[in-house]
Amino acid sequence: MEINPQIVKQLREKTNAGMMDCKRALTEAGGDLDKAETLLRQKGIAGASKKSSRATKEGIVASYIHQQGKVGVLVEVNCETDFVAKNEGFRAFVKDITLHIAAAQPLYVSREEVPAEMIEKEKEVYGAQVKGKPENVLTKIVEGKLDKFYSTVCLLEQGFIKDPDLTIKELVASKIAEIGENIIIRRFTRYSVGEPLAGETAASETPAE
Protein backbone atom coordinates (compact mmCIF):
# COMPACT_ATOMS: atom_id res chain seq x y z
CA MET A 1 0.00 0.00 0.00
CA GLU A 2 1.04 3.61 -0.57
CA ILE A 3 2.17 5.31 2.65
CA ASN A 4 1.81 9.07 3.00
CA PRO A 5 5.30 10.59 3.52
CA GLN A 6 3.80 13.02 6.05
CA ILE A 7 2.69 10.10 8.26
CA VAL A 8 6.14 8.55 7.96
CA LYS A 9 7.67 11.85 9.09
CA GLN A 10 5.20 12.07 11.97
CA LEU A 11 6.06 8.55 13.17
CA ARG A 12 9.77 9.32 12.90
CA GLU A 13 9.35 12.41 15.08
CA LYS A 14 7.45 10.39 17.70
CA THR A 15 9.83 7.44 17.87
CA ASN A 16 13.22 8.65 16.58
CA ALA A 17 13.30 5.55 14.36
CA GLY A 18 14.75 5.60 10.84
CA MET A 19 12.65 6.55 7.83
CA MET A 20 12.75 3.05 6.33
CA ASP A 21 11.85 1.48 9.68
CA CYS A 22 8.90 3.85 10.01
CA LYS A 23 7.69 3.15 6.49
CA ARG A 24 7.99 -0.59 7.01
CA ALA A 25 6.08 -0.42 10.30
CA LEU A 26 3.31 1.69 8.77
CA THR A 27 2.97 -0.74 5.89
CA GLU A 28 2.74 -3.65 8.32
CA ALA A 29 0.20 -1.72 10.40
CA GLY A 30 -1.93 -0.84 7.37
CA GLY A 31 -1.18 2.86 7.74
CA ASP A 32 -2.31 3.03 11.38
CA LEU A 33 0.06 5.40 13.19
CA ASP A 34 -0.54 4.05 16.71
CA LYS A 35 -0.17 0.42 15.64
CA ALA A 36 3.02 1.29 13.76
CA GLU A 37 4.45 2.98 16.86
CA THR A 38 3.61 -0.10 18.92
CA LEU A 39 5.32 -2.35 16.38
CA LEU A 40 8.47 -0.23 16.53
CA ARG A 41 8.50 -0.34 20.30
CA GLN A 42 7.97 -4.11 20.34
CA LYS A 43 10.95 -4.55 18.03
CA GLY A 44 13.06 -2.20 20.14
CA ILE A 45 13.56 0.25 17.29
CA ALA A 46 11.71 3.17 18.83
CA GLY A 47 14.24 5.18 20.81
CA ALA A 48 17.22 3.06 19.70
CA SER A 49 18.39 5.81 17.36
CA LYS A 50 18.81 8.13 20.36
CA LYS A 51 21.73 5.94 21.38
CA SER A 52 23.17 5.67 17.86
CA SER A 53 25.41 8.72 18.29
CA ARG A 54 27.11 7.35 21.39
CA ALA A 55 30.74 6.29 21.01
CA THR A 56 31.31 2.53 20.77
CA LYS A 57 34.96 1.96 21.63
CA GLU A 58 34.55 -1.44 23.30
CA GLY A 59 33.28 -4.75 21.99
CA ILE A 60 34.60 -8.06 20.75
CA VAL A 61 35.90 -9.83 17.65
CA ALA A 62 34.22 -13.22 17.30
CA SER A 63 34.82 -16.14 14.96
CA TYR A 64 32.83 -19.09 13.70
CA ILE A 65 33.93 -22.12 11.69
CA HIS A 66 31.28 -24.13 9.85
CA GLN A 67 31.01 -27.30 7.72
CA GLN A 68 34.14 -29.02 9.00
CA GLY A 69 36.31 -26.01 8.27
CA LYS A 70 34.83 -25.13 4.86
CA VAL A 71 33.36 -21.77 5.93
CA GLY A 72 34.78 -19.25 8.39
CA VAL A 73 33.53 -15.91 9.72
CA LEU A 74 35.21 -13.07 11.63
CA VAL A 75 33.08 -10.20 12.88
CA GLU A 76 33.72 -7.10 15.00
CA VAL A 77 30.78 -5.86 17.07
CA ASN A 78 31.21 -2.71 19.16
CA CYS A 79 29.47 -1.50 22.30
CA GLU A 80 30.05 1.35 24.75
CA THR A 81 31.59 -0.36 27.78
CA ASP A 82 33.85 -3.26 28.64
CA PHE A 83 31.19 -4.39 31.10
CA VAL A 84 28.73 -5.05 28.27
CA ALA A 85 31.45 -6.55 26.07
CA LYS A 86 31.89 -9.26 28.72
CA ASN A 87 28.15 -9.76 29.16
CA GLU A 88 26.93 -13.26 28.24
CA GLY A 89 23.83 -11.89 26.50
CA PHE A 90 25.92 -9.59 24.32
CA ARG A 91 28.31 -12.40 23.43
CA ALA A 92 25.42 -14.71 22.57
CA PHE A 93 24.06 -11.99 20.28
CA VAL A 94 27.45 -11.67 18.54
CA LYS A 95 27.56 -15.45 18.14
CA ASP A 96 24.17 -15.31 16.43
CA ILE A 97 25.56 -12.69 14.05
CA THR A 98 28.46 -14.95 13.07
CA LEU A 99 26.07 -17.85 12.47
CA HIS A 100 23.88 -15.63 10.33
CA ILE A 101 26.80 -14.36 8.23
CA ALA A 102 27.99 -17.92 7.61
CA ALA A 103 24.53 -18.98 6.41
CA ALA A 104 23.20 -15.86 4.65
CA GLN A 105 26.43 -14.77 2.93
CA PRO A 106 26.01 -10.96 3.03
CA LEU A 107 28.58 -8.87 1.16
CA TYR A 108 28.30 -5.59 3.09
CA VAL A 109 27.18 -4.42 6.52
CA SER A 110 24.83 -1.71 5.19
CA ARG A 111 23.62 -0.23 1.92
CA GLU A 112 25.94 2.75 2.45
CA GLU A 113 28.87 0.39 1.82
CA VAL A 114 27.61 -0.88 -1.54
CA PRO A 115 29.82 0.55 -4.32
CA ALA A 116 28.11 3.19 -6.46
CA GLU A 117 29.07 1.36 -9.65
CA MET A 118 27.32 -1.79 -8.43
CA ILE A 119 24.16 0.17 -7.67
CA GLU A 120 24.20 1.80 -11.13
CA LYS A 121 24.66 -1.58 -12.77
CA GLU A 122 21.67 -2.97 -10.88
CA LYS A 123 19.58 0.06 -11.87
CA GLU A 124 20.46 -0.50 -15.53
CA VAL A 125 19.39 -4.14 -15.33
CA TYR A 126 16.12 -3.32 -13.58
CA GLY A 127 15.42 -0.42 -15.95
CA ALA A 128 15.84 -2.73 -18.94
CA GLN A 129 13.45 -5.24 -17.39
CA VAL A 130 10.61 -2.69 -17.18
CA LYS A 131 11.48 -0.66 -20.27
CA GLY A 132 8.52 1.12 -21.84
CA LYS A 133 6.61 1.84 -18.64
CA PRO A 134 5.80 5.44 -17.60
CA GLU A 135 8.72 7.20 -15.90
CA ASN A 136 7.04 7.49 -12.49
CA VAL A 137 6.06 3.80 -12.53
CA LEU A 138 9.52 2.78 -13.73
CA THR A 139 11.19 4.72 -10.89
CA LYS A 140 9.06 3.03 -8.22
CA ILE A 141 9.66 -0.43 -9.66
CA VAL A 142 13.42 0.13 -9.81
CA GLU A 143 13.45 1.45 -6.22
CA GLY A 144 11.51 -1.61 -5.09
CA LYS A 145 13.92 -3.96 -6.84
CA LEU A 146 16.87 -2.10 -5.31
CA ASP A 147 15.39 -2.54 -1.84
CA LYS A 148 15.12 -6.27 -2.58
CA PHE A 149 18.74 -6.26 -3.76
CA TYR A 150 19.88 -4.55 -0.55
CA SER A 151 18.00 -7.12 1.53
CA THR A 152 20.05 -9.80 -0.20
CA VAL A 153 23.58 -8.34 0.01
CA CYS A 154 23.45 -6.07 3.10
CA LEU A 155 23.71 -7.71 6.51
CA LEU A 156 21.55 -5.19 8.36
CA GLU A 157 18.68 -5.60 5.88
CA GLN A 158 18.66 -9.38 5.74
CA GLY A 159 16.02 -11.40 7.57
CA PHE A 160 17.57 -13.06 10.62
CA ILE A 161 18.08 -16.79 9.94
CA LYS A 162 16.46 -17.71 13.27
CA ASP A 163 13.49 -15.40 12.64
CA PRO A 164 13.14 -14.28 8.98
CA ASP A 165 10.45 -11.73 9.92
CA LEU A 166 13.07 -9.86 11.96
CA THR A 167 15.83 -8.00 10.11
CA ILE A 168 19.34 -7.89 11.54
CA LYS A 169 18.90 -4.14 11.99
CA GLU A 170 15.80 -4.80 14.09
CA LEU A 171 17.67 -7.48 16.02
CA VAL A 172 20.43 -4.96 16.83
CA ALA A 173 17.82 -2.38 17.88
CA SER A 174 16.13 -4.85 20.21
CA LYS A 175 19.49 -5.67 21.80
CA ILE A 176 20.22 -1.94 22.24
CA ALA A 177 16.88 -1.56 24.01
CA GLU A 178 17.64 -4.60 26.19
CA ILE A 179 21.11 -3.61 27.40
CA GLY A 180 20.77 0.19 27.21
CA GLU A 181 23.95 0.75 25.20
CA ASN A 182 24.66 1.53 21.57
CA ILE A 183 25.75 -1.48 19.50
CA ILE A 184 27.34 -1.38 16.07
CA ILE A 185 28.26 -4.25 13.76
CA ARG A 186 31.41 -2.61 12.45
CA ARG A 187 32.80 -5.10 9.95
CA PHE A 188 32.98 -8.75 9.02
CA THR A 189 34.84 -11.15 6.76
CA ARG A 190 33.47 -14.42 5.44
CA TYR A 191 35.75 -17.09 3.97
CA SER A 192 34.66 -20.10 1.93
CA VAL A 193 37.13 -22.75 0.77
CA GLY A 194 37.76 -22.56 -2.98
CA GLU A 195 36.13 -19.18 -3.60
CA PRO A 196 38.00 -16.84 -6.01
CA LEU A 197 40.13 -14.09 -4.50
CA ALA A 198 39.58 -10.45 -5.54
CA GLY A 199 40.49 -10.15 -9.22
CA GLU A 200 40.87 -13.92 -9.57
CA THR A 201 38.74 -16.07 -11.87
CA ALA A 202 38.52 -19.76 -12.48
CA ALA A 203 40.35 -19.23 -15.78
CA SER A 204 43.41 -17.91 -13.91
CA GLU A 205 43.97 -21.25 -12.20
CA THR A 206 46.92 -23.26 -13.48
CA PRO A 207 45.66 -26.33 -15.37
CA ALA A 208 46.85 -29.73 -14.25
CA GLU A 209 49.44 -31.35 -16.55
The DSSP string of 118-183 is: HHHHHHHHHHHHTTTS-HHHHHHHHHHHHHHHHHHHBGGGSEETTEEEEEHHHHHHHHHHHHSS--
Interval 61-101: pLDDT, tens? 999 998 789 999 999 999 999 999 999 999 999 999 999 99
- Residues 47, 66 contacting (CB under 8 angstroms): no
- What residues contact 159, with CB distance under 8 A and at least 6 apart? 151, 165, 166, 167
Q: Which residues pair with 192 in a beta bridge?
A: 71
- How close are the terminal C-alpha atoms of the chain, in Å? 61
Query: What mean pLDDT is predicted for residues 7-35?
Result: 81
For residues 23 and 53, which has the higher predicted lDDT (pLDDT)? 23
pLDDT at 1: 62
Nearest to 168 by CA among 153, 180, 181, 146: 153
- What residues contact 63, with CB distance under 8 A and at least 6 apart? 72, 73, 74, 75, 98
For residues 209 and 118, which has the higher predicted lDDT (pLDDT)? 118
pLDDT at 13: 73
pTM of the full predicted structure? Answer: 0.71
Interval 139-177: pLDDT, tens? 888 889 999 999 999 999 999 999 998 999 989 988 988
